[in-house]
Amino acid sequence: MAEHNSEVDQSEHVDLLVIGWGKGGKTLAGTMARAGKRVAVVERSDAMIGGSCINIACIPTKILVHDAENKRDSDDVAEYFAKAVKRRDTLTGAMRKKNLSMLDDLDSVLLVSGRAEFTGEREVLVTGGTDTMTITADTVVVNTGSVANIPPIDGAKLGGRIHDSESLQHVTPFPKRLVIVGGGYIGLEFGSMFTHFGSQVTVLDHGPRPLANEDDDVAEVVAAALADDGITIINNASVTAVSDGTESATVSYEIDGETKTIDAEAVLLAVGRKPATTDLGLDKAGIETNERGFITVDQHLRASAEGVYAFGDVNGGPMFTYISLDDNRILADQLLGEGKRSTRDRGSVPYTMFLTPPVARVGLSEKDAREQGYEIKVGAKAMADIAAAPRAKIEGDPRGIVKFVVDAKTDRILGAALVHVHSQEVINTVALAMRHDVTATELRDTIYTHPSATEALNEVLGVMK
């Protein structure tokens, strides 16, 4: 049950208890242990040591995205996918082992394998097989993350040919046809990945167009790139049923009152995430949740129960591992520092959808800025037309767009949407500039290496209107 203890029905008191091995929790555990505090980390699954990011989310999916983009027409589809999955598993296994040693090597860290359930205020009962352990703590961090949301659709049950984003990473046999229910972040990323591996991909999106939060011009560029790669997106589709048959799965959906069906060797349910709080017994500890089940927290990540905090996905904030890492910084500052950090001081948080090419965003869209009453200037240019940034052409994929929204009165950057090769790197430069009030003019006139994707900033920020 425990890495350092094997007796049953034990009890321990620690300075810090972390439930779930997510990015923020494991980082705080190491920091507190090195500061001389007694720490316990509870994880129910050995396959999740290190957290979702390295095991089922960021790292493994980006390995598959990378390998899919590098597949040659001459490669056997099934064989190539199997090799990519093997590489995925090898790297995640090595990272899991490293994450274990990073905490296991610290003498003041108690690692416990089992299911945690609150039995009182800052008290949990951990059950692992026939062993149990009661752990009490001065401070508790719930860091259990999220799981795929299974929609209330007839037949929408995982198993066989019906998958979530975790099981699809090991799908076998490789699906010649893949239907994705949901055109959001996960659905489009997996759609792009699998079409490059060789699947015929159809995305059933409930909305009128994909990327509902993006400006029309940006969304159109992305949709065109996906279509160019062979993905079919059916908009305004309300999925009514999913069934798994002998030869294929069938998805039924309605458009304008008309019922249609589509068959595929695999179906991905990609309709969002929900908090992983089942069986945690939050009510027994006085931990409140919102209407969607996420733990409610204040700007310092405090839950409603004294001494309890929630990190990462489980608190309903942006579902990115780097947000969980910053959650750790906020609480570390509360416990060991000056207590000045909060969620209110981390503006200009970027994100990337790893499509081909990737879609990176930070700050306000043009639509949002106008709705909020800003007087703005907008600069937008197709990547293929940006003479000063030939990197995308060099790499053979000049598709995309670079768009900036700037406050006309202050010259401050309000937001940017970058759709191009290496946009996941360039967006970090833009976000840093926004956080430190670097003006659009300063960013425009900065010297960048050549040939790089960042050089697009020189040109696009010079055509503001």
312 is in an annotated binding site: no
Pairing of strands 308-310, 131-142: parallel
Catalytic residue among 66, 196, 420, 450: 450
- How far is it, in rounded angstroms, from Cα 377 to Cα 403? 11
Q: Tell whether residue 186 is among the known ligand binding residues.
A: yes
Among 270, 299, 302, smallest CA distance to 286 is for 302
The response to whether 323 counts as a known ligand-binding position is no
Phi first, then psi, for residue 226 (nearest 5°) are: -65, -45
Give yes or no for a contact between 177 and 200, defined as CB atoms under 8 angstroms apart: yes
Is 450 a residue of the active site? yes
313 carries a ligand binding annotation: yes
Contacts of residue 277, Cβ cutoff 8 Å, sequence gap at least 6: 142, 144, 289, 293, 295, 314
Asked whether residue 146 is marked as a ligand-binding residue, the answer is: yes
* Pairing mode of beta strands 249-255, 238-244: antiparallel
Phi first, then psi, for residue 349 (nearest 5°) are -90, 120
Q: Is 188 annotated as a binding residue?
A: yes
Q: Is 230 annotated as belonging to a binding site?
A: no
- Is 374 one of the annotated binding-site residues? no
Number of helices and strands (H, E) in the chain? 12, 22
In 224-262, which positions are buried (b, 16+ CB within 10 angstroms) versus exposed (e)? ebbeeeebebeeebebeebbeeeebbbbbbeeeeeeeeb
15 assigned binding-site residue: no
- 328, containing H or E segment: helix 321-336
Establish whether 187 is an annotated binding residue: yes
| Residue 418 marked ligand-binding | no
Enumerate the known binding-site residues for FAD. Answer: 62, 144-146, 313
Question: Catalytic residues, which ones?
Answer: 450
Binding positions for NAD(+): 182-189, 272
Residues forming the annotated binding site?
62, 144-146, 182-189, 272, 313
